[in-house]
């Protein structure tokens, strides 16, 4: 592992900005309920992403370019943990009388494939996904400011074109939730087994192809 050269002690800035962040939790929190918590969650996500050098673009790219699946497998572990807890939250919400299942459940169709595909190309040539771009701006990368400018243009363009995608594809696409097919318990077991199988394949692939080993 390459040792990062530290130029000078920046911890005074750390304490200053931490203090500022703390005050802002209060100031945001007092203007609107929960706003301070969103700010806090963002900070915690950013801190963890940077400290663990967690990059979703690399999770998708490294298996292809370097034969390395360690980051991809870490994403799978996160998915397995969240599958259990997200399903419990959903189940309890539905038992408690919620009319729709909470969480990120979207219609699936041509728009998902097209959007995911071009996002995949974009994140590799830009050298970072949405989270990676924000994280690297915080680290001081000027390049990711350019990526963000592109992102802003692209997302506005997509919002402008959205009615067409909605009319042709999204409104005709089904919203599919695994519990519809397997029941709650079955869905969790199905997904965990699927993740475990992918993990196993990714580990085998890494053992045979990793050019860094």
**Least distance CB 39 / other proteins (angstroms):** 5
* Residue 149 contacts other proteins per CB under 8 A: yes
* Residue 213 contacts other proteins per CB under 8 A: no
Applying CB under 8 A, among 44, 189, 197, 201 the residue interacting with other proteins is 44
**Least distance CB 95 / other proteins (angstroms):** 15
* Residue 138 contacts other proteins per CB under 8 A: yes
Binding-site size, other proteins (CB under 8 A): 126
Instruction: Write out the binding residues for other proteins, residues 160-199 only, by CB under 8 A.
Output: 160-163, 165, 170, 175-179, 187-188, 191
Contacts (Cβ under 8 Å, ≥6 apart) of 97: none
Contacts (Cβ under 8 Å, ≥6 apart) of 143: 127, 136
Q: What distance in Å separates the CA atoms of residue 185 and residue 83, rounded to the nearest whole number?
A: 11
Contacts (Cβ under 8 Å, ≥6 apart) of 128: 55, 57, 135, 136, 144, 147
Instruction: Write out the binding residues for other proteins, residues 2-21 only, by CB under 8 A.
Output: 4, 6-11, 13-14, 17-18, 21
Q: Count CA atoms within 13 Å of residue 143 on its CB side.
A: 7
Q: What distance in Å separates the CA atoms of residue 34 and residue 41, rounded to the nearest whole number?
A: 11
* Residue 83 contacts other proteins per CB under 8 A: yes
Instruction: Write out the binding residues for other proteins, residues 105-124 only, by CB under 8 A.
Output: 105-108, 111-124
**Least distance CB 197 / other proteins (angstroms):** 13
Helix axis angle for 143-168 and 130-139, nearest 10°, is 160
Residues 79 and 198: beta-carbon distance below 8 Å: no
Instruction: Write out the binding residues for other proteins, residues 22-41 only, by CB under 8 A.
Output: 28, 31-32, 34-35, 37-41
**Least distance CB 3 / other proteins (angstroms):** 10
Q: Which is nearer to other proteins, 52 or 172 (CB)?
A: 52
* Residue 82 contacts other proteins per CB under 8 A: yes
Rg (CA), the chain: 21
Residue 84 sits at φ, ψ, to 5 deg, of -65, -50
* Residue 94 contacts other proteins per CB under 8 A: no
* Residue 104 contacts other proteins per CB under 8 A: yes
Cα distances from 161 to residues 26, 32, 90, 104, 147, in angstroms, run 39, 33, 32, 22, 21
**Least distance CB 209 / other proteins (angstroms):** 14
């Amino acid at each position: 592992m390459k040792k990062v050269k530290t130029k000078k002690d920046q911890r005074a800035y750390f304490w200053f900005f931490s203090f500022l962040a703390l005050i802002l939790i209060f100031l945001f929190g007092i203007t609107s309920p929960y706003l301070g918590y969103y700010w806090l969650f963002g900070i915690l996500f950013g801190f963890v992403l940077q400290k663990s050098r967690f990059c979703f673009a690399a999770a998708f790219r490294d298996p292809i370019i370097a034969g390395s699946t360690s980051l991809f497998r870490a994403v799978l572990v996160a998915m397995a943990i969240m599958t259990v807890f997200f399903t419990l939250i959903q189940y309890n919400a539905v038992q408690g009388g919620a009319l729709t299942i909470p969480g990120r459940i979207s219609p699936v169709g041509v728009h998902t494939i097209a959007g995911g595909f071009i996002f995949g190309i974009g994140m590799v040539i830009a050298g970072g996904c949405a989270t990676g771009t924000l994280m690297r701006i915080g680290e001081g990368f000027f390049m990711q400011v350019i990526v963000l400018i592109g992102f802003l243009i692209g997302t506005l363009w997509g919002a402008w074109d959205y009615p067409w995608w909605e009319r042709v594809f999204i409104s005709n696409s089904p919203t599919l939730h695994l519990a519809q097919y397997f029941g709650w318990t079955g869905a969790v077991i199905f997904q965990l087994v699927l993740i475990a199988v992918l993990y196993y394949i990714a580990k085998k692939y890494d053992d045979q192809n990793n050019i860094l080993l």
